[in-house]
Amino acid sequence: MATLADVARHAGVAASTVSYVLSGKRSVSQATKDRVRRSIEALNYQPHAGARALASSQAHVLALALPLRGDLYVPVMMEIAIAVTTRARAFGYDVLLLTAAEGSEGIRRVASTSRADAVILTDIGLADDRIEAARNSGVPAVAIGVPAAPAGLDCVDLDFAAAGRLCVEHLTGLGHRVLAFIGEAEAVYTRRTGFAERTLRGIRAAAGDVDLVHRPCEGSYEAVAATLKKILEDRPETTGLIVQNEAVIPPLMSLLSSHRRAVPDDISVVALCPDQVAEQTAPRLTSVTIPAAELGHRAVELLVHRMTSGEDGTEGKVRLIPPSLTVRGSTAAR
């Protein structure tokens, strides 16, 4: 494996000159640049990441902390991971995976060993000890999601309250007056996961005088069956359904047909889910998408900007992405 010194020798220049050609931090004559570049080619030189990290105290690595619960929002998480990695690469960063199992310890570790220059947190609970760890780690951090106390930590997330509102408004706009919100599993609320509460708040606020019930629901077929049965028995005049837990969707659609409720003729369904999921049912679902890729991109951009601009930004700014609702085949006028 060729080293910087090999390149320098081959090109007949000092090692520092090669370094400057590579980093562009000082001007180098065009002739020398060319010569060095040719030597790099010739020797197939690649700088040693560790050496670079040591000398520059920049690892050029971002750590991505995955969810605490592996079962949840899998497609969304995957999309975020891919988006983060892709965007990070565009800035010359690699992405290190941190698992749930390591928890806040992993964050401390990668930060204090300088393995990573910054941290991205996902699946934020309202009170999440990884947040404290990230804040004290000494490296920039951004959360995808919003904790109860975002102070000192930048956050990006979908504006779930607005998303909830949008769903309600879409349905009421179509004339629906009796709505049910099939939410996340009860556990998600008691864990006080931010997005679930915010969605609920947005929905309640927008409901105003229309009739709306909230029913938490697990992803299993039986749970969905029970929930739906109760909704239709208690309030048979329900014509609008809002669904947040994406695992609920497949059983829900099949159960609705066994209950002889046609979508959208008898009942309209709006989902909060990735487009991909919305397009896999028949009929395709009108939905507010979870902009997973955008969240990932924004998170990386925030971090890279903070690191390059030198601003230490203990801002704790929360950036909410406005939701957008796509009308598909599952909603119609009452």
Using CA atoms, how far apart are residues 320 and 330, in angstroms rounded to an integer? Answer: 27
Which amino acid is residue 247, in one-letter code? Answer: A
Residue 42 or 78 having the CB closest to a second copy: 78
Q: What is the binding site for DNA (CB under 7 A)?
A: 1, 3-5, 12-17, 19-20, 22-23, 25-29, 31-32, 45-48, 51-52, 54-57
Residue 47 CB, nearest approach to DNA (Å): 4
Residue 71 CB, nearest approach to a second copy (Å): 7
Contact between residue 66 and residue 81 where contact means Cβ atoms under 8 Å apart? yes
Residue 309 interaction partner, one of DNA, a second copy, none, beta carbon < 5-8 Å per kind: none
Residue 134 CB, nearest approach to DNA (Å): 22
Residue 112 or 324 having the CB closest to DNA: 112
15-23 helix and 30-43 helix, angle to the nearest 10 degrees: 100
Residue 9 or 135 having the CB closest to DNA: 9
Burial class from Cβ neighbours inside 10 Å (0-12, 13-18, 19+) for residue 108 reads middle
Residue 82 interaction partner, one of DNA, a second copy, none, beta carbon < 5-8 Å per kind: a second copy
**In the chain, helix, strand, coil percent, each to 5?**
50, 15, 35
Residue 92 or 208 having the CB closest to DNA: 92
Question: What is the DSSP code string of 152-187?
Answer: TSEEEEE-HHHHHHHHHHHHHHTT--EEEEE-S-HH
Is 50 a binder of a second copy (CB under 8 A)? yes
Residue closest to 202 by CA, chosen among 181, 221, 222, 188 = 181
Question: Residues 60, 130, 98, 114: what is their CA dihedral angle, to the nearest 10 degrees?
Answer: 30
Residue 199 CB, nearest approach to DNA (Å): 45
Contact between residue 288 and residue 272 where contact means Cβ atoms under 8 Å apart? yes
Residue 27 interaction partner, one of a second copy, DNA, none, beta carbon < 5-8 Å per kind: DNA
The token pair at 38 is 């040719």
The token pair at 258 is 């066994």
Residue count at the site for a second copy (CB under 8 A)? 60
Is 49 a binder of a second copy (CB under 8 A)? yes
Residue 85 interaction partner, one of DNA, a second copy, none, beta carbon < 5-8 Å per kind: a second copy
Residue 32 or 280 having the CB closest to a second copy: 280
Q: What residue ranges bind a second copy (CB under 8 A)?
A: 1, 44, 46-54, 59, 61, 64, 66, 70-71, 74-75, 77-79, 81-82, 85-86, 89, 94-102, 106, 109-110, 112-115, 219-222, 225, 247, 250-251, 253-254, 257-258, 276, 279-282
